[in-house]
Structure 1
Amino acid sequence: MLGYSLRSVRCHRIAVVTGGNKGIGLEVCRQLAASGVTVVLTARDETRGAAAVEKLREQGLSDVIFHQLEVTDASSIARLAEFLKTRFGRLDILVNNAAISGVELVDDPSFGPKPVGEQFNGMDWHQRIGWMYKNSRETYSTAKEGLRTNYYGTKHVTEALLPLLQSSYDGRIVNVSSGFGLLRYFRSEELKQELNDADNLTEERLDELLDMFLKDFGAGALDARGWPGELASYKVAKAAVNAYSRIMARRHPRLRVNCAHPGYVKTDMTRNSGLLTPEEGANNVVKVALLPAGGPTGAFFAIGKEASFL
Protein backbone atom coordinates (compact mmCIF):
# COMPACT_ATOMS: atom_id res chain seq x y z
CA MET A 1 0.00 0.00 0.00
CA LEU A 2 2.83 2.37 0.87
CA GLY A 3 4.55 1.71 -2.48
CA TYR A 4 1.36 2.49 -4.38
CA SER A 5 0.87 5.73 -2.43
CA LEU A 6 4.45 6.81 -3.05
CA ARG A 7 4.11 6.23 -6.81
CA SER A 8 0.94 8.32 -6.82
CA VAL A 9 2.70 11.18 -5.06
CA ARG A 10 5.64 10.98 -7.46
CA CYS A 11 3.31 11.26 -10.44
CA HIS A 12 1.34 14.21 -9.16
CA ARG A 13 3.44 16.97 -7.66
CA ILE A 14 2.03 20.19 -6.19
CA ALA A 15 3.82 23.51 -6.67
CA VAL A 16 3.30 27.05 -5.42
CA VAL A 17 4.71 29.98 -7.38
CA THR A 18 4.70 33.41 -5.75
CA GLY A 19 4.34 36.46 -7.98
CA GLY A 20 2.91 34.21 -10.67
CA ASN A 21 0.61 36.49 -12.64
CA LYS A 22 3.17 37.94 -15.08
CA GLY A 23 6.75 37.86 -16.33
CA ILE A 24 9.03 35.11 -15.10
CA GLY A 25 6.51 33.89 -12.53
CA LEU A 26 3.76 33.31 -15.09
CA GLU A 27 6.17 31.44 -17.35
CA VAL A 28 7.35 29.29 -14.43
CA CYS A 29 3.70 28.38 -13.80
CA ARG A 30 3.18 27.55 -17.46
CA GLN A 31 6.28 25.38 -17.75
CA LEU A 32 5.64 23.52 -14.51
CA ALA A 33 2.02 22.85 -15.50
CA ALA A 34 3.17 21.66 -18.93
CA SER A 35 5.44 19.20 -17.10
CA GLY A 36 2.47 17.64 -15.30
CA VAL A 37 2.74 19.56 -12.03
CA THR A 38 -0.38 20.93 -10.34
CA VAL A 39 0.39 24.62 -9.91
CA VAL A 40 -1.01 27.07 -7.39
CA LEU A 41 -0.40 30.43 -9.04
CA THR A 42 -0.33 33.22 -6.46
CA ALA A 43 -0.47 36.98 -6.87
CA ARG A 44 -1.33 40.03 -4.78
CA ASP A 45 -4.14 41.18 -7.08
CA GLU A 46 -7.03 38.72 -7.34
CA THR A 47 -8.28 40.04 -10.69
CA ARG A 48 -4.85 39.80 -12.34
CA GLY A 49 -4.15 36.42 -10.77
CA ALA A 50 -7.45 34.95 -11.94
CA ALA A 51 -6.85 36.37 -15.43
CA ALA A 52 -3.41 34.73 -15.51
CA VAL A 53 -4.91 31.34 -14.62
CA GLU A 54 -7.55 31.76 -17.30
CA LYS A 55 -4.83 32.58 -19.84
CA LEU A 56 -3.03 29.33 -19.00
CA ARG A 57 -6.23 27.34 -19.17
CA GLU A 58 -6.91 28.71 -22.63
CA GLN A 59 -3.54 27.19 -23.57
CA GLY A 60 -4.81 23.78 -22.44
CA LEU A 61 -3.22 23.85 -18.97
CA SER A 62 -6.20 23.03 -16.78
CA ASP A 63 -4.33 21.97 -13.64
CA VAL A 64 -3.58 25.52 -12.47
CA ILE A 65 -5.29 27.10 -9.47
CA PHE A 66 -5.23 30.71 -8.29
CA HIS A 67 -4.84 31.76 -4.68
CA GLN A 68 -4.30 35.30 -3.47
CA LEU A 69 -0.98 35.97 -1.73
CA GLU A 70 0.68 39.12 -0.50
CA VAL A 71 4.10 38.00 0.74
CA THR A 72 4.38 40.90 3.19
CA ASP A 73 1.01 40.13 4.82
CA ALA A 74 1.09 37.46 7.55
CA SER A 75 -2.67 36.81 7.35
CA SER A 76 -2.50 36.34 3.57
CA ILE A 77 0.37 33.85 3.97
CA ALA A 78 -1.59 31.99 6.67
CA ARG A 79 -4.65 31.71 4.40
CA LEU A 80 -2.54 30.17 1.64
CA ALA A 81 -0.99 27.68 4.06
CA GLU A 82 -4.42 26.64 5.34
CA PHE A 83 -5.74 26.24 1.79
CA LEU A 84 -2.82 24.01 0.81
CA LYS A 85 -3.14 21.95 3.97
CA THR A 86 -6.88 21.40 3.43
CA ARG A 87 -6.73 20.85 -0.34
CA PHE A 88 -3.53 18.81 -0.71
CA GLY A 89 -2.04 18.05 2.70
CA ARG A 90 1.46 18.68 1.39
CA LEU A 91 3.58 20.79 -0.93
CA ASP A 92 6.28 19.43 -3.23
CA ILE A 93 7.73 22.56 -4.84
CA LEU A 94 7.85 26.16 -3.62
CA VAL A 95 9.15 28.76 -6.06
CA ASN A 96 9.72 32.05 -4.25
CA ASN A 97 9.58 34.42 -7.20
CA ALA A 98 7.74 37.50 -5.90
CA ALA A 99 10.04 40.52 -5.80
CA ILE A 100 10.25 44.27 -6.35
CA SER A 101 13.08 46.47 -7.59
CA GLY A 102 13.47 48.43 -4.36
CA VAL A 103 13.84 51.68 -6.33
CA GLU A 104 11.72 54.42 -7.83
CA LEU A 105 11.90 54.35 -11.60
CA VAL A 106 12.55 57.72 -13.22
CA ASP A 107 13.54 59.02 -16.64
CA ASP A 108 16.78 61.01 -16.51
CA PRO A 109 17.00 63.34 -19.55
CA SER A 110 20.76 63.71 -18.98
CA PHE A 111 21.19 60.06 -20.00
CA GLY A 112 19.29 60.50 -23.23
CA PRO A 113 15.78 59.45 -24.23
CA LYS A 114 14.30 56.25 -22.91
CA PRO A 115 15.03 53.39 -25.34
CA VAL A 116 11.93 51.64 -26.57
CA GLY A 117 11.38 48.47 -28.55
CA GLU A 118 14.29 47.63 -30.79
CA GLN A 119 16.38 50.57 -29.56
CA PHE A 120 17.70 48.31 -26.78
CA ASN A 121 19.10 45.99 -29.45
CA GLY A 122 22.04 48.30 -30.03
CA MET A 123 23.02 48.30 -26.35
CA ASP A 124 25.20 45.68 -24.68
CA TRP A 125 24.64 44.33 -21.15
CA HIS A 126 26.69 47.06 -19.47
CA GLN A 127 24.89 49.83 -21.37
CA ARG A 128 21.49 48.43 -20.48
CA ILE A 129 22.39 48.10 -16.81
CA GLY A 130 23.89 51.59 -16.90
CA TRP A 131 20.63 52.94 -18.27
CA MET A 132 18.75 51.19 -15.47
CA TYR A 133 21.06 52.70 -12.85
CA LYS A 134 20.68 56.20 -14.22
CA ASN A 135 16.92 55.91 -14.40
CA SER A 136 16.43 54.63 -10.87
CA ARG A 137 16.29 56.46 -7.56
CA GLU A 138 16.76 54.61 -4.27
CA THR A 139 15.38 56.15 -1.10
CA TYR A 140 15.33 54.88 2.47
CA SER A 141 11.65 54.03 2.01
CA THR A 142 12.19 52.03 -1.19
CA ALA A 143 15.22 50.28 0.32
CA LYS A 144 13.23 49.25 3.38
CA GLU A 145 10.32 48.02 1.25
CA GLY A 146 12.77 46.12 -0.96
CA LEU A 147 14.12 44.16 2.02
CA ARG A 148 10.61 43.62 3.36
CA THR A 149 9.42 42.04 0.13
CA ASN A 150 12.51 40.44 -1.38
CA TYR A 151 14.02 38.91 1.74
CA TYR A 152 11.43 38.85 4.53
CA GLY A 153 8.59 37.97 2.14
CA THR A 154 10.56 34.97 0.91
CA LYS A 155 11.49 33.97 4.46
CA HIS A 156 7.97 34.25 5.91
CA VAL A 157 6.32 32.34 3.06
CA THR A 158 8.95 29.61 3.41
CA GLU A 159 8.45 29.36 7.18
CA ALA A 160 4.68 29.10 6.83
CA LEU A 161 4.83 26.40 4.14
CA LEU A 162 7.71 24.44 5.64
CA PRO A 163 5.53 21.81 7.40
CA LEU A 164 3.77 21.09 4.10
CA LEU A 165 7.10 20.77 2.27
CA GLN A 166 8.30 18.38 4.96
CA SER A 167 5.21 16.24 4.28
CA SER A 168 6.43 15.69 0.71
CA TYR A 169 8.59 12.74 -0.24
CA ASP A 170 10.89 15.15 -2.08
CA GLY A 171 10.15 18.70 -0.96
CA ARG A 172 12.10 21.42 -2.67
CA ILE A 173 12.40 25.19 -2.47
CA VAL A 174 13.68 27.34 -5.32
CA ASN A 175 14.43 30.93 -4.34
CA VAL A 176 14.60 33.10 -7.44
CA SER A 177 17.79 35.08 -6.93
CA SER A 178 19.91 37.32 -9.13
CA GLY A 179 23.44 37.83 -10.32
CA PHE A 180 23.20 41.04 -8.29
CA GLY A 181 23.01 38.88 -5.17
CA LEU A 182 26.58 37.66 -5.62
CA LEU A 183 28.99 38.68 -2.90
CA ARG A 184 31.37 40.32 -5.39
CA TYR A 185 29.17 43.43 -5.16
CA PHE A 186 30.01 43.88 -1.47
CA ARG A 187 33.02 46.11 -0.93
CA SER A 188 33.66 44.97 2.64
CA GLU A 189 35.68 41.76 2.90
CA GLU A 190 34.29 41.24 6.39
CA LEU A 191 30.70 41.33 5.12
CA LYS A 192 31.58 38.98 2.26
CA GLN A 193 33.18 36.46 4.60
CA GLU A 194 30.31 36.55 7.06
CA LEU A 195 27.61 36.12 4.41
CA ASN A 196 29.59 33.31 2.78
CA ASP A 197 30.05 31.40 6.05
CA ALA A 198 27.26 28.89 5.41
CA ASP A 199 28.29 26.68 8.35
CA ASN A 200 27.98 29.36 11.03
CA LEU A 201 25.69 32.12 9.76
CA THR A 202 22.28 32.28 11.49
CA GLU A 203 18.95 33.88 10.65
CA GLU A 204 19.34 36.08 13.71
CA ARG A 205 22.67 37.40 12.45
CA LEU A 206 21.15 37.99 9.02
CA ASP A 207 18.48 40.13 10.66
CA GLU A 208 21.19 42.12 12.46
CA LEU A 209 23.09 42.66 9.23
CA LEU A 210 19.97 43.86 7.41
CA ASP A 211 19.15 46.24 10.26
CA MET A 212 22.73 47.50 10.04
CA PHE A 213 22.36 48.02 6.29
CA LEU A 214 19.22 50.14 6.73
CA LYS A 215 20.85 52.16 9.50
CA ASP A 216 23.90 52.80 7.30
CA PHE A 217 21.64 53.64 4.36
CA GLY A 218 19.80 56.23 6.44
CA ALA A 219 23.09 57.70 7.65
CA GLY A 220 24.56 57.87 4.15
CA ALA A 221 27.28 55.45 5.20
CA LEU A 222 26.94 52.68 2.58
CA ASP A 223 30.29 53.47 0.95
CA ALA A 224 32.13 53.78 4.25
CA ARG A 225 30.77 50.45 5.52
CA GLY A 226 31.46 48.56 2.30
CA TRP A 227 27.89 47.78 1.22
CA PRO A 228 27.02 47.46 -2.48
CA GLY A 229 26.57 50.63 -4.49
CA GLU A 230 23.79 51.12 -7.06
CA LEU A 231 20.58 49.14 -6.48
CA ALA A 232 21.98 48.49 -3.00
CA SER A 233 18.76 47.23 -1.39
CA TYR A 234 18.10 44.76 -4.20
CA LYS A 235 21.66 43.41 -4.05
CA VAL A 236 21.64 43.10 -0.25
CA ALA A 237 18.21 41.44 -0.22
CA LYS A 238 19.18 38.87 -2.85
CA ALA A 239 22.48 38.16 -1.06
CA ALA A 240 20.44 37.61 2.10
CA VAL A 241 18.11 35.24 0.22
CA ASN A 242 21.16 33.29 -0.94
CA ALA A 243 22.50 33.09 2.61
CA TYR A 244 19.10 32.10 4.01
CA SER A 245 18.82 29.34 1.42
CA ARG A 246 22.11 27.87 2.61
CA ILE A 247 20.98 28.08 6.24
CA MET A 248 17.76 26.25 5.36
CA ALA A 249 19.60 23.62 3.35
CA ARG A 250 21.87 22.94 6.32
CA ARG A 251 18.98 22.82 8.78
CA HIS A 252 16.67 20.65 6.62
CA PRO A 253 18.84 18.14 4.75
CA ARG A 254 15.81 16.15 3.51
CA LEU A 255 14.66 19.15 1.48
CA ARG A 256 16.32 20.51 -1.68
CA VAL A 257 16.81 24.25 -1.11
CA ASN A 258 18.49 26.10 -3.97
CA CYS A 259 18.81 29.55 -5.54
CA ALA A 260 18.19 30.21 -9.23
CA HIS A 261 19.38 33.26 -11.14
CA PRO A 262 17.17 33.36 -14.27
CA GLY A 263 19.39 35.79 -16.16
CA TYR A 264 18.78 39.39 -17.25
CA VAL A 265 15.18 39.06 -18.42
CA LYS A 266 12.81 41.40 -20.24
CA THR A 267 10.23 42.14 -17.55
CA ASP A 268 8.43 45.10 -16.03
CA MET A 269 11.10 45.23 -13.32
CA THR A 270 13.88 45.70 -15.88
CA ARG A 271 11.65 47.96 -17.98
CA ASN A 272 12.04 45.36 -20.75
CA SER A 273 15.76 46.10 -21.05
CA GLY A 274 16.78 42.47 -20.47
CA LEU A 275 18.57 40.15 -22.86
CA LEU A 276 16.43 37.04 -22.28
CA THR A 277 12.72 36.45 -22.82
CA PRO A 278 10.53 35.52 -19.83
CA GLU A 279 10.31 32.01 -21.34
CA GLU A 280 14.11 31.66 -21.32
CA GLY A 281 14.45 33.08 -17.82
CA ALA A 282 11.71 30.87 -16.43
CA ASN A 283 13.30 27.80 -17.99
CA ASN A 284 16.42 28.50 -15.92
CA VAL A 285 14.26 28.42 -12.79
CA VAL A 286 12.18 25.38 -13.76
CA LYS A 287 15.35 23.37 -14.44
CA VAL A 288 16.26 23.80 -10.77
CA ALA A 289 12.71 23.09 -9.57
CA LEU A 290 12.67 19.79 -11.48
CA LEU A 291 16.17 18.54 -10.68
CA PRO A 292 16.34 14.77 -10.12
CA ALA A 293 15.65 13.52 -6.60
CA GLY A 294 18.74 13.59 -4.41
CA GLY A 295 20.30 16.43 -6.38
CA PRO A 296 22.19 19.43 -5.00
CA THR A 297 20.96 21.48 -2.08
CA GLY A 298 22.24 24.79 -0.75
CA ALA A 299 23.50 25.65 -4.25
CA PHE A 300 23.34 28.68 -6.55
CA PHE A 301 22.36 28.12 -10.17
CA ALA A 302 23.19 30.86 -12.66
CA ILE A 303 21.26 30.60 -15.94
CA GLY A 304 20.66 26.89 -15.37
CA LYS A 305 24.15 25.88 -14.24
CA GLU A 306 25.56 25.47 -10.75
CA ALA A 307 27.83 28.39 -9.88
CA SER A 308 29.56 30.22 -7.02
CA PHE A 309 27.84 32.53 -4.52
CA LEU A 310 30.82 34.85 -4.93
Structure 2
Amino acid sequence: MKTALVTGANKGIGFEAAKQLAQNGFFVYLGSRNPESGLLAVKKLRAEGINSIEAVQLDVTDQASVNAAAAIISSKTNVLDVLVNNAGISGGFQQSALDTTVDQFKTVYETNVFGVIRVTQAFINLLKKATEPRIVNVTTAMASLTLAADPSGSGYDYKLAAYQSSKSALNMYTINLAYELRNTSFKVNMVCPGYTKTDFTNHQGTSTVQEAGGRIVKYALIGQDGPTGKFISEEYFPEPAGCPW
Protein backbone atom coordinates (compact mmCIF):
# COMPACT_ATOMS: atom_id res chain seq x y z
CA MET A 1 0.00 0.00 0.00
CA LYS A 2 1.31 3.43 -0.92
CA THR A 3 1.73 6.03 1.82
CA ALA A 4 1.06 9.75 2.04
CA LEU A 5 1.51 12.57 4.51
CA VAL A 6 -0.80 15.59 4.49
CA THR A 7 0.05 18.50 6.77
CA GLY A 8 -2.67 20.63 8.35
CA ALA A 9 -5.10 17.79 7.65
CA ASN A 10 -7.40 17.86 10.66
CA LYS A 11 -9.98 20.01 8.87
CA GLY A 12 -10.88 21.79 5.66
CA ILE A 13 -9.06 21.11 2.42
CA GLY A 14 -6.29 19.11 4.08
CA PHE A 15 -8.84 16.80 5.71
CA GLU A 16 -10.57 16.27 2.37
CA ALA A 17 -7.28 15.62 0.57
CA ALA A 18 -6.35 13.03 3.20
CA LYS A 19 -9.78 11.42 2.83
CA GLN A 20 -9.56 11.24 -0.96
CA LEU A 21 -6.03 9.82 -0.88
CA ALA A 22 -7.21 7.10 1.50
CA GLN A 23 -10.11 6.39 -0.85
CA ASN A 24 -7.55 5.99 -3.62
CA GLY A 25 -5.77 3.21 -1.77
CA PHE A 26 -3.19 5.13 0.27
CA PHE A 27 -2.33 4.76 3.92
CA VAL A 28 -2.44 8.39 5.01
CA TYR A 29 -0.62 10.07 7.87
CA LEU A 30 -2.82 12.97 8.89
CA GLY A 31 -0.59 15.75 10.19
CA SER A 32 -2.15 18.00 12.81
CA ARG A 33 -0.57 20.68 14.99
CA ASN A 34 -3.03 19.86 17.79
CA PRO A 35 -2.96 16.13 18.69
CA GLU A 36 -6.57 16.09 19.88
CA SER A 37 -7.80 17.65 16.65
CA GLY A 38 -5.92 15.03 14.67
CA LEU A 39 -7.44 12.18 16.66
CA LEU A 40 -10.93 13.63 16.21
CA ALA A 41 -10.36 13.88 12.45
CA VAL A 42 -9.27 10.23 12.30
CA LYS A 43 -12.29 9.21 14.36
CA LYS A 44 -14.57 11.01 11.90
CA LEU A 45 -12.97 9.29 8.92
CA ARG A 46 -13.14 5.87 10.53
CA ALA A 47 -16.84 6.45 11.20
CA GLU A 48 -17.15 6.79 7.42
CA GLY A 49 -15.38 3.47 6.91
CA ILE A 50 -11.96 4.90 6.13
CA ASN A 51 -9.44 3.01 8.24
CA SER A 52 -6.14 3.42 6.39
CA ILE A 53 -5.31 6.62 8.25
CA GLU A 54 -3.36 7.65 11.33
CA ALA A 55 -2.96 10.99 13.11
CA VAL A 56 0.55 12.37 13.66
CA GLN A 57 1.28 15.45 15.74
CA LEU A 58 3.04 17.85 13.41
CA ASP A 59 3.59 21.57 13.94
CA VAL A 60 5.34 22.81 10.82
CA THR A 61 6.68 25.87 12.68
CA ASP A 62 8.55 23.69 15.20
CA GLN A 63 11.63 21.81 13.99
CA ALA A 64 11.49 19.42 16.95
CA SER A 65 7.89 18.55 16.12
CA VAL A 66 8.75 17.97 12.46
CA ASN A 67 11.71 15.78 13.42
CA ALA A 68 9.57 13.78 15.84
CA ALA A 69 6.90 13.23 13.18
CA ALA A 70 9.55 12.09 10.71
CA ALA A 71 10.91 9.65 13.28
CA ILE A 72 7.45 8.24 13.99
CA ILE A 73 6.57 7.78 10.34
CA SER A 74 10.02 6.34 9.54
CA SER A 75 9.46 3.73 12.26
CA LYS A 76 6.25 2.63 10.51
CA THR A 77 7.22 2.74 6.84
CA ASN A 78 10.39 2.72 4.76
CA VAL A 79 8.79 4.71 1.95
CA LEU A 80 6.67 7.84 1.59
CA ASP A 81 5.03 8.11 -1.82
CA VAL A 82 3.23 11.44 -1.49
CA LEU A 83 3.79 14.60 0.53
CA VAL A 84 1.08 17.25 0.52
CA ASN A 85 2.29 20.46 2.16
CA ASN A 86 -1.13 21.88 2.97
CA ALA A 87 -0.65 23.60 6.35
CA GLY A 88 -0.95 27.35 5.97
CA ILE A 89 -2.25 30.52 7.61
CA SER A 90 -3.68 33.74 6.22
CA GLY A 91 -2.27 36.06 8.86
CA GLY A 92 -5.57 37.92 9.08
CA PHE A 93 -7.41 39.92 6.48
CA GLN A 94 -5.96 43.41 6.93
CA GLN A 95 -2.45 43.33 5.48
CA SER A 96 -1.14 46.62 4.19
CA ALA A 97 2.29 46.66 2.58
CA LEU A 98 3.05 49.77 4.65
CA ASP A 99 1.38 48.93 7.97
CA THR A 100 1.83 45.19 8.39
CA THR A 101 4.71 44.72 10.80
CA VAL A 102 7.81 42.66 10.15
CA ASP A 103 6.77 40.36 12.98
CA GLN A 104 3.44 39.74 11.25
CA PHE A 105 5.27 38.92 8.03
CA LYS A 106 7.56 36.55 9.94
CA THR A 107 4.59 34.73 11.49
CA VAL A 108 3.00 34.07 8.10
CA TYR A 109 6.28 33.05 6.47
CA GLU A 110 7.08 30.73 9.38
CA THR A 111 4.16 28.49 8.40
CA ASN A 112 3.67 29.10 4.69
CA VAL A 113 7.32 29.05 3.59
CA PHE A 114 9.69 27.83 6.28
CA GLY A 115 7.22 25.16 7.41
CA VAL A 116 7.12 23.68 3.92
CA ILE A 117 10.92 23.68 3.75
CA ARG A 118 11.22 21.99 7.15
CA VAL A 119 8.77 19.24 6.28
CA THR A 120 10.13 18.65 2.79
CA GLN A 121 13.70 18.37 4.00
CA ALA A 122 12.70 16.10 6.90
CA PHE A 123 10.86 13.64 4.65
CA ILE A 124 12.91 13.79 1.45
CA ASN A 125 14.84 10.61 2.21
CA LEU A 126 11.63 8.61 2.63
CA LEU A 127 10.27 10.14 -0.57
CA LYS A 128 13.41 9.23 -2.50
CA LYS A 129 12.71 5.56 -1.76
CA ALA A 130 9.39 5.69 -3.62
CA THR A 131 9.22 4.60 -7.24
CA GLU A 132 7.12 7.61 -8.27
CA PRO A 133 7.33 10.21 -5.47
CA ARG A 134 5.01 13.20 -5.57
CA ILE A 135 5.12 16.51 -3.70
CA VAL A 136 2.17 18.89 -3.87
CA ASN A 137 2.59 22.31 -2.28
CA VAL A 138 -0.75 24.01 -1.72
CA THR A 139 -0.67 27.58 -2.98
CA THR A 140 -3.15 30.20 -4.18
CA ALA A 141 -3.95 32.14 -7.33
CA MET A 142 -3.46 35.23 -5.14
CA ALA A 143 0.28 34.46 -5.33
CA SER A 144 0.31 34.91 -9.09
CA LEU A 145 2.29 38.02 -9.95
CA THR A 146 0.47 38.21 -13.27
CA LEU A 147 -2.97 38.25 -11.68
CA ALA A 148 -1.99 40.51 -8.79
CA ALA A 149 -0.58 43.13 -11.17
CA ASP A 150 -3.51 43.11 -13.60
CA PRO A 151 -5.82 46.13 -12.99
CA SER A 152 -8.55 44.43 -15.02
CA GLY A 153 -8.52 41.31 -12.86
CA SER A 154 -11.26 40.50 -10.37
CA GLY A 155 -8.79 40.26 -7.48
CA TYR A 156 -6.75 43.35 -8.25
CA ASP A 157 -8.20 45.42 -5.38
CA TYR A 158 -7.94 42.60 -2.85
CA LYS A 159 -4.43 42.58 -1.43
CA LEU A 160 -2.90 40.69 1.50
CA ALA A 161 0.77 41.69 1.60
CA ALA A 162 2.11 39.01 3.94
CA TYR A 163 -0.05 36.12 2.75
CA GLN A 164 0.36 36.75 -0.98
CA SER A 165 4.11 37.30 -0.80
CA SER A 166 4.56 34.17 1.35
CA LYS A 167 2.79 32.03 -1.22
CA SER A 168 4.78 33.64 -4.04
CA ALA A 169 7.94 32.68 -2.14
CA LEU A 170 6.55 29.17 -1.73
CA ASN A 171 6.00 28.98 -5.48
CA MET A 172 9.61 29.92 -6.20
CA TYR A 173 10.83 27.37 -3.65
CA THR A 174 8.71 24.74 -5.40
CA ILE A 175 10.20 25.64 -8.79
CA ASN A 176 13.70 25.35 -7.35
CA LEU A 177 12.86 22.03 -5.69
CA ALA A 178 11.41 20.63 -8.91
CA TYR A 179 14.54 21.77 -10.78
CA GLU A 180 16.86 20.00 -8.34
CA LEU A 181 14.82 16.80 -8.71
CA ARG A 182 14.29 17.11 -12.47
CA ASN A 183 16.40 14.07 -13.38
CA THR A 184 14.53 11.77 -11.00
CA SER A 185 11.05 10.24 -10.94
CA PHE A 186 9.78 13.03 -8.67
CA LYS A 187 6.88 15.26 -9.71
CA VAL A 188 6.77 18.47 -7.68
CA ASN A 189 3.98 20.96 -8.27
CA MET A 190 2.17 23.88 -6.65
CA VAL A 191 -1.62 23.64 -6.73
CA CYS A 192 -4.23 26.29 -5.99
CA PRO A 193 -7.30 24.45 -4.68
CA GLY A 194 -9.54 27.38 -5.62
CA TYR A 195 -11.57 29.88 -3.62
CA THR A 196 -13.01 27.29 -1.28
CA LYS A 197 -15.78 27.41 1.32
CA THR A 198 -13.88 26.60 4.54
CA ASP A 199 -13.10 28.18 7.91
CA PHE A 200 -10.12 29.80 6.17
CA THR A 201 -12.47 31.91 3.99
CA ASN A 202 -15.31 32.25 6.51
CA HIS A 203 -17.14 29.69 4.37
CA GLN A 204 -17.26 31.95 1.33
CA GLY A 205 -16.05 30.82 -2.06
CA THR A 206 -16.72 29.37 -5.48
CA SER A 207 -15.46 25.83 -4.83
CA THR A 208 -16.58 23.07 -2.50
CA VAL A 209 -14.13 21.30 -0.20
CA GLN A 210 -14.59 18.17 -2.29
CA GLU A 211 -13.62 20.00 -5.48
CA ALA A 212 -10.61 21.60 -3.78
CA GLY A 213 -9.39 18.33 -2.32
CA GLY A 214 -9.78 16.67 -5.70
CA ARG A 215 -7.56 19.27 -7.37
CA ILE A 216 -4.77 18.53 -4.91
CA VAL A 217 -5.14 14.77 -5.09
CA LYS A 218 -5.13 14.89 -8.89
CA TYR A 219 -1.52 16.08 -8.82
CA ALA A 220 -0.59 13.62 -6.08
CA LEU A 221 -1.67 10.83 -8.44
CA ILE A 222 -0.24 12.01 -11.77
CA GLY A 223 1.79 9.59 -13.84
CA GLN A 224 5.27 10.04 -15.23
CA ASP A 225 3.83 11.92 -18.22
CA GLY A 226 2.56 14.62 -15.87
CA PRO A 227 4.14 18.03 -15.23
CA THR A 228 6.67 19.07 -12.65
CA GLY A 229 7.56 22.53 -11.40
CA LYS A 230 4.19 23.81 -12.55
CA PHE A 231 1.76 26.32 -10.99
CA ILE A 232 -1.76 24.94 -11.36
CA SER A 233 -4.89 26.99 -10.76
CA GLU A 234 -7.86 25.43 -12.52
CA GLU A 235 -10.12 28.35 -11.64
CA TYR A 236 -7.90 30.89 -13.36
CA PHE A 237 -5.77 28.85 -15.76
CA PRO A 238 -7.81 25.83 -16.94
CA GLU A 239 -5.90 22.91 -18.38
CA PRO A 240 -6.19 22.64 -22.18
CA ALA A 241 -8.63 20.15 -23.66
CA GLY A 242 -7.08 16.71 -24.02
CA CYS A 243 -4.53 17.37 -21.28
CA PRO A 244 -2.92 13.94 -20.60
CA TRP A 245 -2.86 14.35 -16.85
- Classify the TM-score, shorter chain: 0.7 to 0.9
| Pairing partner for 1:246 from 175, 192, 195 | 175
How many correspondences in the alignment? 227
1:35-78 deviation line (CA, Å, top 9, x unaligned): 11110001101111100001001101000011000001000100
1:102-148 deviation line (CA, Å, top 9, x unaligned): 2267xxxxxxxxxxxxxxxxxxxxxxxxxxx89xx944332221111
Question: Is 2:149 the partner of 1:160?
Answer: no
Measured in 2, the distance between the counterparts of 1:139 and 1:59 equals 44
Measured in 1, the distance between the counterparts of 2:73 and 2:59 equals 16
Question: Is 2:190 the partner of 1:259?
Answer: yes
| Pairing partner for 1:90 from 76, 79, 87 | 79
Equivalent residue runs for 1:63-142 within 5 Å: 63-103=52-92, 138-142=100-104
The question of whether the paired residues in 2 share the 8 Å contact of 1:34 and 1:61 is answered with yes
| Pairing partner for 1:30 from 2, 5, 19 | 19
The question of whether the paired residues in 2 share the 8 Å contact of 1:264 and 1:275 is answered with yes
Measured in 1, the distance between the counterparts of 2:181 and 2:75 equals 24
Measured in 2, the distance between the counterparts of 1:101 and 1:142 equals 11
The question of whether the paired residues in 2 share the 8 Å contact of 1:103 and 1:139 is answered with no
* Partner amino acid, structure 2, of 1:242: N
* Partner amino acid, structure 1, of 2:75: T
The question of whether the paired residues in 2 share the 8 Å contact of 1:96 and 1:175 is answered with yes
Question: Is 2:51 the partner of 1:51?
Answer: no
Measured in 2, the distance between the counterparts of 1:186 and 1:104 equals 16
The question of whether the paired residues in 1 share the 8 Å contact of 2:12 and 2:198 is answered with yes
Question: Is 2:187 the partner of 1:234?
Answer: no
Measured in 2, the distance between the counterparts of 1:173 and 1:231 equals 26
Equivalent residue runs for 1:191-206 within 5 Å: none
Question: Is 2:10 the partner of 1:21?
Answer: yes
1:179-209 deviation line (CA, Å, top 9, x unaligned): 011122566xxxxxxxxxxxxxxxxxxxxxx
Measured in 2, the distance between the counterparts of 1:296 and 1:71 equals 27
2:243 matched to which residue of 1?
A: none
The question of whether the paired residues in 2 share the 8 Å contact of 1:288 and 1:301 is answered with no
Identify the range of structure 1 (295-304 vs 25-34) with the bigger mean alpha-carbon deviation.
295-304
**Matched position secondary structure for 1:269:** helix
Question: Is 2:228 the partner of 1:300?
Answer: no
1:192 matched to which residue of 2?
A: none
Aligned-residue offset at 1:232: 0.9
Question: Is 2:222 the partner of 1:291?
Answer: yes
Measured in 1, the distance between the counterparts of 2:212 and 2:86 equals 12
Q: CA RMSD in A?
A: 2.1
Identify unmatched segments of 5+ residues in structure 2: 150-156, 241-245
TM-score when normalising by structure 1: 0.69
1:118 matched to which residue of 2?
A: none
Aligned-residue offset at 1:294: 4.0
Measured in 2, the distance between the counterparts of 1:266 and 1:146 equals 21
The question of whether the paired residues in 1 share the 8 Å contact of 2:190 and 2:232 is answered with yes
Identify unmatched segments of 5+ residues in structure 1: 1-11, 106-132, 188-227
Aligned-residue offset at 1:296: 1.1
Check 1:81–1:31 CA distance in 2 against 1; reply closer, same or farther (3 A cut).
same
Equivalent residue runs for 1:168-247 within 5 Å: 168-184=130-146, 230-247=159-176
Q: Percent identity?
A: 38
Measured in 2, the distance between the counterparts of 1:169 and 1:184 equals 35
Measured in 1, the distance between the counterparts of 2:7 and 2:202 equals 20
Question: Is 2:212 the partner of 1:281?
Answer: yes
